[in-house]
């Protein structure tokens, strides 16, 4: 499931400004259509998914 959450987070970021190098965690959790809203994630669940994938790379 971490892979799906990360994919959704990256897909959610696509429409944002291309020059942006970061996205606020709050946006990933609470903005309309965000992975946090869609999957009903807590901050710790979202962070755990991102960390899980980053350790595999």
Tokens 């990360």 correspond to 6
Residue 16's pLDDT is 66
pTM to 2 decimal places: 0.83
Question: Nearest to residue 43, comparing CAs of 53, 34, 32?
Answer: 34
Residue 19's pLDDT is 73
**How far apart, in whole angstroms, are the C-alpha atoms of residue 40 and residue 17?**
25
Residues with Cβ within 8 Å of residue 42, at least 6 apart in sequence? none
Residue 17's pLDDT is 65
pLDDT digits (tens, 9 = 90+) for 1-57: 999 999 999 999 887 666 778 889 999 999 999 999 999 999 999 999 999 999 998
For every residue of 22-44, DSSP letters joined together read: ---HHHHHHSTT-HHHHHT--HH
């Amino acid at each position: 499931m971490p892979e799906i959450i990360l994919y959704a987070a990256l897909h959610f970021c696509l429409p944002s400004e291309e020059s942006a190098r970061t996205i606020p965690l709050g946006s990933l959790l609470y903005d309309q259509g965000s992975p946090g809203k869609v999957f009903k994630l807590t901050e710790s669940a979202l962070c755990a998914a991102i960390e899980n994938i980053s350790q595999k790379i």
